[in-house]
Amino acid sequence: MPAMLRSPVITMEDVDGVLLRVAHWPVEGQGAGRPLVFFNGIGANLELASGLGDMFPDREILTLDVPGVGGSPVTQWPYRHWMLARWIRKLVDRYGIDEMDVMGVSWGGALAQQFAFQYRARVKRLILCATTAGVTMIPGRPASLSKMVDTRRYSDPEFMRENFAKLYGDAADESAGGHIDNLMPPDPKG
148 lies in some domain = no
Domain range for 15:
9-135
118 lies in some domain = yes
Number of domains in the chain: 1
Q: Is 189 helix (H, G, I), strand (E, B) or coil?
A: coil
36 lies in some domain = yes
174 lies in some domain = no
Mean pLDDT of 7-17: 96
DSSP string, 57-77: TTS-EEEEEPTTSTTSPPPSS
Question: Percentage of the chain surpassing pLDDT 70?
Answer: 74
pLDDT at 172: 58
4 lies in some domain = no
pLDDT in tens, 16-58: 999 999 999 999 776 679 999 999 988 888 888 888 999 999 9
Q: Provide long-range contacts, Cβ within 8 A and 24+ apart, for 177-181.
A: 177/1, 178/1, 178/50, 178/51, 179/48, 181/157
91 lies in some domain = yes
- Are 187 and 68 in contact by the 8 Å Cβ rule? The answer is yes
The whole-model pTM stands at 0.76
- Are 37 and 92 in contact by the 8 Å Cβ rule? The answer is yes
Residues annotated catalytic, as ranges:
106
d(CA 146, CA 149): 6
More reliable by pLDDT, 117 or 30: 117
78 lies in some domain = yes
pLDDT in tens, 137-155: 555 667 776 776 677 776 7
94 lies in some domain = yes
CATH number at residue 48: 3.40.50.1820
